[in-house]
Amino acid sequence: MAKSLTIAVKRIHDAAEASDGARFLVDRLWPRGVSKEKAALAAWLKPLSPSEALRKRYHGETVDSEEAWDAFRLDYFAELDAGGEEVKAALFVLDAAKQAGPVTLLYAAKSPERNNALALREWLARR
């Protein structure tokens, strides 16, 4: 049976489920109110999260703005494209997990429509 290459995206505050497979936090900061046990992470992939500067700038924008979302995604993709050895190492971990089974990217943002995990999944699908 072929393994699914689909990557799920889920808010870290939602309960872990067996169908999540390997769970990877892709935020730069640890989310408030979530214990490491509840998170049930395979790994915390900080190198795949937006830079501190981009995170701060984006969180200062209106989340509902399509322009701000598009600008964030383009800047985030540029950061990932320019990523160094840490990004390559994190991608190796993620790729290995995808070959083994389901993968879920976890985020802490409140918006299920606009968050860095969705943007990361989009970037991964393009590479």
Mean pLDDT per block of 10 residues along the chain (127 residues) reads 69 96 97 94 97 84 76 95 96 96 95 94 93
Residue 2 lies in a domain: no
Asked if the structure places residue 1 within a domain, the reply is no
What pLDDT does 2 receive? 39
Instruction: Give the pLDDT of residue 6.
Output: 82
Tell me the C-alpha distance between 86 and 51, whole Å.
13
> Does residue 72 sit within a domain?
yes
The answer as to whether 121 is a domain residue is yes
Count up the domains in the chain and report the number. Answer: 1
Handedness of CA 117, 13, 56, 85 (dihedral sign): negative
Query: Which pLDDT value is given to residue 61?
Result: 56
**With contact defined as beta carbons under 8 Å apart, do 101 and 22 qualify?**
yes
Give residue 33's domain range: 7-126
